[in-house]
């Protein structure tokens, strides 16, 4: 943090980028936004969207800008949190590039518009990716893996699952979020009891939503609570 070393040959300036792991749920699957790289290195390879941090913006502002530029997504409507920094000196063949990975979660997001420096952008099912992650450019396989574990873990002890739902949500929708991301069935009755007994997880609106068939579902909004106490642990689930 001091400049006694700035002139030493051991220290060099770095390029700083942000990379985004953007997740959503579409057609019952957990999807991540990928781009097909339009420039070297890794030309043509799939990668997480991202780009250089500009001069006068914070890291978060940079992430929000890339979200808009590369995916055409308005960041105000989704959850954005920092995942971590990746700075292996050999992670980018062009030289030292430190990237700050961000995790973004949103409700069923629109098909992304092609980014500025990407041939195209598209939603990729995470399930299809977890085997052949080696296809991703740079150290993005590792970033994606950490992002996934972060999401799965945060579902347990925070109310982050509501970020995957629109403003008005039913308990079934919320349960489906857990089921899709954890890849495991949950007992609807026990899930309902758990969520409603956790003060501040969701708050009732009084309105209802009428599904194509079956009893109407009560509509809720996100509550004020962020930490779930006690947490909603995975495991057990439904043996069905």
Of 98 and 218, nearer to DNA (C-beta) is: 218
Taking CB under 8 A as the rule, does residue 200 contact its own copies? no
- Closest distance between DNA and the C-beta of residue 201, in Å? 12
Taking CB under 8 A as the rule, does residue 125 contact its own copies? no
- Closest distance between DNA and the C-beta of residue 78, in Å? 24
Taking CB under 7 A as the rule, does residue 221 contact DNA? no
Taking CB under 7 A as the rule, does residue 193 contact DNA? yes
Taking CB under 7 A as the rule, does residue 162 contact DNA? no
Q: Contact, 202 vs 162, CB < 8 A?
A: yes
Judged by CB under 8 A, which of 22, 23, 24, 37 binds its own copies?
37
Taking CB under 8 A as the rule, does residue 124 contact its own copies? no
76 interacts with, out of its own copies, DNA, none, CB within 5 to 8 A per kind: none
Rounded CA-CA distance 145/130 in Å is 8
Other beta carbons within 10 angstroms of residue 73's beta carbon come to 24
Binding window for DNA (CB under 7 A); candidates: 9-17, 100-108, 143-151, 207-215: 207-215
Taking CB under 8 A as the rule, does residue 233 contact its own copies? yes
Q: Hey, what long-range contacts does 61-69 have (CB within 8 A, 24 or more apart)?
A: 62/18, 63/18, 63/20, 63/100, 63/102, 63/104, 66/18, 66/20, 67/20, 67/22, 67/104, 69/115, 69/116
Q: How many residues at the interface with DNA, by CB under 7 A?
A: 29
Residue 29, classed as helix, strand or coil, is strand
- Closest distance between its own copies and the C-beta of residue 218, in Å? 29
Q: Quick one: which of 100, 86, 228 has its CA closest to 155?
A: 228
- Tokens 């070297």 belong to 40
């Amino acid at each position: 943090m001091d400049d006694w070393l700035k002139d030493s040959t051991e220290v060099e300036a770095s390029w700083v980028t942000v990379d985004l792991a953007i997740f959503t749920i579409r057609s019952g699957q957990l999807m991540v936004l990928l781009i097909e790289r339009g420039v070297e290195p890794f030309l043509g390879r799939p990668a997480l969207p991202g780009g250089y941090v500009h001069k006068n913006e914070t890291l978060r502002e940079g992430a929000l800008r890339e979200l808009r530029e590369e995916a055409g997504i308005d960041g105000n409507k989704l959850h954005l949190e920092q995942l971590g920094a990746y700075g292996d000196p050999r992670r980018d063949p062009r030289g030292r590039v430190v990237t700050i990975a961000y995790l973004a979660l949103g409700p069923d997001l629109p098909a992304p518009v092609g980014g500025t420096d990407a041939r195209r952008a598209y939603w990729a099912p995470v399930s299809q990716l977890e085997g052949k992650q080696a296809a991703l450019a740079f150290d993005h396989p590792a970033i994606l893996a950490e992002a996934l574990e972060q999401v799965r873990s945060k579902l347990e002890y925070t109310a982050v699952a509501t970020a995957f739902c629109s403003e008005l949500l039913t308990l079934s929708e919320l349960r489906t979020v857990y089921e899709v991301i954890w890849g495991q069935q949950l007992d609807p009755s026990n899930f309902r009891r758990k969520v409603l007994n956790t003060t501040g997880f969701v708050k009732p609106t009084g309105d209802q939503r009428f599904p194509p068939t079956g009893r109407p579902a009560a509509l809720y909004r996100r509550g004020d609570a962020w930490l779930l106490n006690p947490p909603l642990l995975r495991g057990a689930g439904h043996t069905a």
